[in-house]
Amino acid sequence: MANPSSIKVQKKKQLRRSLRTLRNLVHSNSNDVNTILSDAFVCIIDSVKKIEELQKELQTMVPIQHQPPPVEVKVEEQGESKYQLNVTSPSEDGKNYFTLIVGAIEEKGINIISASVSRLFWFNMEAIVEVTQAIDSSVLTEIIFKAIGKCGVN
């Protein structure tokens, strides 16, 4: 069984270690227990005030509106009546893009000769289309953006 006086000595050593740690944390220069504790109390009050100020500042900030990721559409002419379409987007809505784009293209009477789609990390569609009437590449780009707009993007 431990000697009661050695237990007291151990407790005093532990108290001194704790006070030394507290003194270092609050940057106190005193060795007096009451002064160290009052410095710690002041430090806690200052920290609480800083937190409250930051919370007020955070509440006054204008919330940042979520901007959907950009959709990139490239239309390249591949001859008189053929165009190559490249559509890429990191958006999660990309899983719906393919059906919307194909539907919009077919609705305009444009034939899709070939198409490939990838959704590994982002939406990527490559297609070759054939037009029956004279259409500018900007019109095809507009058709694609309008189709994607049905998903709420761009």
Report pTM: 0.53
Beta bridge partners, 143, equal none
What's the mean pLDDT when you consider all of the chain?
86
Assigned domain for 65 exists: no
pLDDT, residue 153, reads 46
- Whether 16 and 51 share a structural domain: yes
* Residue 154 domain flag: no
Residue 122 · residue 94 · CB < 8 Å: yes
Q: 94-107 and 137-149 helices cross at what angle (nearest 10)? A: 130
Backbone angles phi, psi at 43, to 5 degrees: -60, -40
Our count of domains for the chain comes to 2
Domain-embedded: residue 111: yes
Task: Tell me the residue range of the domain where 50 lies.
Answer: 4-60
pLDDT confidence tier of residue 64, bands split at 50, 70 and 90 = low
Lowest model confidence (mean pLDDT) among 73-77, 114-118, 150-154? 150-154
Both 131 and 93 in one domain: the answer is yes
Instruction: Return the closest-CA partner of residue 49 out of 61, 23, 41.
Output: 41
Tell me how far apart the alpha carbons of residues 113 and 115 are, in angstroms, rounded to a whole number: 7
Neighbours of 7 (CB within 10 A): 10
> 108 lies in a domain?
yes
Q: What is the pLDDT of residues 16-38, one digit of tens each?
A: 999 899 889 888 888 888 998 89
